[in-house]
Amino acid sequence: MKTTPLTEIHRALGARMAEFAGYEMPISYAGIREEHLAVRHAVGVFDVSHMGEFIVKGPEALKLVQRVTSNNAAKLAPGRVQYSCLPNEEGGIVDDLLVYRLFDDQCAEGEEAFMLVVNASNIEKDFAHIQRYNNFDTRLIDISDQSGLLAVQGPRATEALQTLTDVPLADIAYYHFVKGRMAGIDNVLISATGYTGAGGFELYVANEELPALWEAVMEAGKPYGIEPAGLGARDTLRLEKGYCLYGHEIDDKTSPIEAGLSWITKLKKGDFVGREAILRVKEEGTQQQLVGFKTEGKRVPRQGYTLLDESGQAIGRVTSGTLSPSLNMPIGMGYVPPAFAKSGTAIQIDLGRKQVAAEVVELPFV
């Protein structure tokens, strides 16, 4: 199993560790609910070094990025970030990712550079997929094994991190990034992004800098109530915001249109892998649509449970569910036919020995 530069630190903090995407990762420290609420109301720090990072660099870097991703990367000025996905030829999703347009000082004359941040479970698959379409004058480089990543998330993240840097953090707009010195470490990529919907930053540094950065962030965060947070809280936080998770809401078979990702699927930007298949889905209409729902009682909907209409007929499936720590009620996401996708629609969830009533609601939950 792979480790991150912080694995020993997590163990020393008493984290529950488990295998995730081939990495030994912290699932929780003080407890998922406590960590979740710390991130929603104060600040938490996540080791997400398992995420994959690729550099696309060369005179035709933009052409390759445009060819394989669904969003319009031509709109990205240096210092900007974009959520996007890698569609396959059938119009399914190879992966979802962040696309960073790097600053030109990273490049030789006449070159441009991007960083693609992909899911850990898909690193090899994504690399092979992108390389397959790389008949451009550009290089694709996997730096995942050299790159560490901390997500410092929460409404007090900016204040806490500001004590470690002269870079004016409040000036970094959402989905923008800068490179700067933080905690005595040069060239930290400070990105106003995250997967929690709580605000904050993601900090990319070389592996060998990561332990020092972690310690500095934990120390600086103390007056702000910082807590280390694990992948358990990361999952409940993203679910409250209705964010898709690869392997749950999206996979090789789901269309970005069904998953509510039309907004990152720019069919007018020119040709890209999967465009025709996605266009067809858009023209013909979808068979299923991703929705959020709340249930009665305290039983938690889980991935794979069947969704039923009011008469008990199977209509779809649950993709994710949890007891929302913010709302203290069960919430979930799943696929239903468009006729059931309107908020307020009454449905049921099959728990096995019994059914429980649920209601389709607008996303996000929180």
Partner 1 sequence: MQTPDNLKYTQNHEWIRLEEDGTAYVGITDFAQESLGEIVYVEVETVDETLEKDEVFGTVEAVKTTSDIYMPVSGKITEFNPALNETNEDNDPTLINSDPYGKGWIIKIEVLDPAQFDELLSADAYQKLIE
Q: Which is nearer to partner 1, 212 or 323 (CB)?
A: 323
Q: Which residue, 16 or 139, is less far from partner 1 as judged by CB? A: 16
Stretch that binds partner 1, among 28-36, 98-106, 107-115, 116-124 (CB under 8 A): 28-36
Q: Measure Cα distances from 366 to 239, 243, 334, 354 in Å.
A: 9, 11, 17, 28
Regarding beta strands 227-228 and 44-47, do their DSSP bridges make them parallel or antiparallel, or are they unpaired?
Answer: parallel
Q: How far apart are the C-alpha atoms of 347 and 349, rounded to whole Å?
A: 7
Note whether 46 and 230 are within 8 A (CB).
Answer: yes
What is the per-residue burial (b if ≥16 Cβ within 10 Å, else e) of 110-136? ebbbbbbbbbbbbbebbbebbeeebeb
Nearer residue to partner 1 within complex by CB, 28 or 193? 28
Contact 222, 38 (CB under 8 A): no
| Interface with partner 1: number of residues (CB under 8 A) | 17
The structure tokens listed for 307 are 């969704």
Sign of CA dihedral 132, 136, 139, 143: negative
95 or 240: whose CB is closer to partner 1? 240
User: Does 300 help bind partner 1 (rule: CB under 8 A)?
Assistant: yes
282 in contact with partner 1 (CB under 8 A): no
Write down the least CB distance from residue 309 to partner 1, Å: 23
Residues in contact with 213: Cβ distance below 8 Å, sequence separation at least 6, in sequence order? 148, 150, 182, 183, 185, 188, 203, 205
232 binds partner 1 (CB under 8 A): yes
Kindly identify the residues of this chain, within the stretch 346-365, that bind partner 1 according to CB under 8 A. Answer: 353
| Per-residue buried b or exposed e for 237-259, using 16+ beta carbons within 10 Å of the residue's own CB | bbbbebbbbbebbbeeebbbbbb
Quick check: 318 binds partner 1 (CB under 8 A)?
A: no
* Residue 294 binds to partner 1 (criterion: CB under 8 A): no
2 binds partner 1 (CB under 8 A): no
Binding residue (CB under 8 A) for partner 1 from 25, 27, 62, 190: 27
- Span interacting with partner 1, options 69-77, 148-156, 197-205, 322-330, rule CB under 8 A: 322-330
Strands of 227-228's sheet, edge to edge?
177-182, 185-191, 200-206, 147-153, 44-47, 227-228
- Least Å distance, CB 301 to partner 1, is 9
* 84's tokens: 């996007």
Which of 96, 219, 86, 224 shows the shortest CA–CA distance to 159? 224
Name which position in 129, 269, 302, 317 contacts partner 1 (CB under 8 A).
302
Decide: is 31 part of the binding site for partner 1 (CB under 8 A).
yes
- Of 322, 347, 348, 360, the one binding partner 1 by CB under 8 A: 322
Q: How far apart are CA 324 and CA 280, in angstroms?
A: 36
Interface positions, 233-272, toward partner 1 (CB under 8 A): 235-236
Stretch that binds partner 1, among 27-35, 90-98, 126-134, 310-318 (CB under 8 A): 27-35
Length of the chain: 366
Of 323, 357, 361, 366, the residue at the interface with partner 1 (CB under 8 A) is: 323
CB of 231 to partner 1, least distance (A): 10
Provide the binding-site residues for partner 1, judged by CB under 8 A: 16, 27-28, 31-33, 232, 235-236, 298-300, 302, 322-323, 325, 353
